[in-house]
Amino acid sequence: MLLREVEYARPASVEEAVRLLSEHEGARALAGGQTLINVMKARAASPDVLIDLNKLADLKGIDLASDGTVSIGAMVTYTELMESAEARARPILGEVCAQIADVQVRNRGTIGGNVCSNDPTNHLPPLMVALGATMHILGGDGERTVPAEEFFLGVYMTAAGPGELLTKISVPPGKSDGFASVPIGRDGTCIVNAAASVNGGVRLALGCVDAVPVLLKTSSADADAVRSAVRDANLDPPADVHASADYRRHLAEVVAVRAAAEAHGKR
């Protein structure tokens, strides 16, 4: 498919990337391109300028701090995260990335692209909310941090606004995590997904049932408590060719219980 005409810039630093993003109204950051290039083909997005982040080494690293915090550069690919020794400190990260699409997509798709596109069916938004991750956003006025549950604002919308760039995600230490989904085919798009973390308190987040991940209120990972927490959330999920709203509501309970049980079992 021939894309609409677009300008292309390959900044040499993160600061230059932020400057270019704020200078051009129609500029868009190009991460792995596994979503953006396809929506450009469909003309669902038509940026005037693509700011390619692929050569920026500062967005690439994975670090493990002495307290167990894992910091992941926004341009780390799913494959890199799966193979990273540092990321094994929080094993769920690589385990979930291994369920995304296929080898080729995992080789180019990035952590930052996944969360910044905030497609409600993506895997990582609910995971980041459940893990209590912190998002680092760089703009013209410097860096700010946003907790994951405040990062996702709407379908395809996040707290990283125009002229800003997600640079890194920090994930606090922990081991007792779970993820469950009902996808369309193995490793396909999720119909409903859920991520759970039982490290101290219980954090349970549902995906695909609202514009943003739904963080459930429950003090227990017990199946009955999780089921009633899902019911108390009064979900109003979308209906499409893959599932009715009622079926999604039903699946939300199923995957929430599975994710919570997996997390609880690793304690």
Partner 1 sequence: MDVKVTVNGETYERDVEARKLLIHFLRDDLNLTGSHIGCDTGNCGACSVIVDGVLVKSCMMLAVQADGATIETVEGLAKDGELNALQQSFSDHHALQCGYCTPGMLMSATALLRGNAHPSEDEIRKGIQGNLCRCTGYVNIVSAIKAAAE
Helices and strands per DSSP (H, E), number in the chain = 10, 14
Per CB under 8 A, does 225 bind partner 1? Answer: no
Complete edge-to-edge strand list for the sheet that includes strand 7-9: 7-9, 49-52, 27-30
Closer to partner 1 at the Cβ: 50 or 92?
50
**Choices 50-58, 61-69, 126-134, 174-182 (CB under 8 A): range interacting with partner 1:** 50-58
Residue with tokens 């995906």: 207
Closer to partner 1 at the Cβ: 41 or 231?
41
Minimum Å gap between C-beta 172 and partner 1 is 30
Identify the CA nearest to 207 among candidates 85, 138, 122: 122
User: What phi, psi does 142 have (nearest 5°)?
Assistant: 105, -170
Q: Please give the angle made by the CA atoms of 156, 158 and 159, to the nearest 5 degrees.
A: 165
Mark residues 55-94: x for contact with partner 1 by CB under 8 A, - for none.
----------------------------------------
Interface with partner 1 (CB under 8 A), residue total: 27
Minimum Å gap between C-beta 223 and partner 1 is 30
Minimum Å gap between C-beta 6 and partner 1 is 5
Per CB under 8 A, does 15 bind partner 1? Answer: no
Identify the CA nearest to 194 among candidates 203, 205, 183: 205
- Structure token pair of residue 95: 């385990």
Which of residues 25, 43, 107, 150 is near partner 1 by CB under 8 A?
107
| CA–CA dist 13, 19 (Å, integer) | 10
| CA–CA dist 158, 243 (Å, integer) | 26
C-beta atoms surrounding 80 within 10 Å: 21
Closer to partner 1 at the Cβ: 54 or 170?
54
Report how far apart the first and last C-alpha atoms of the chain are (Å, whole number). Answer: 49
Per CB under 8 A, does 139 bind partner 1? Answer: no
Which of residues 25, 102, 143, 236 is near partner 1 by CB under 8 A?
102
Per CB under 8 A, does 187 bind partner 1? Answer: yes
Which of residues 2, 12, 85, 241 is near partner 1 by CB under 8 A?
2
Closer to partner 1 at the Cβ: 53 or 255?
53
Residue with tokens 């893959």: 242
Per CB under 8 A, does 241 bind partner 1? Answer: no
| CA–CA dist 36, 45 (Å, integer) | 8
Per CB under 8 A, does 232 bind partner 1? Answer: no
**Binding region for partner 1 (CB under 8 A):** 1-8, 10, 30, 33-34, 37-38, 41, 50, 52, 54, 101-105, 107-108, 186-187
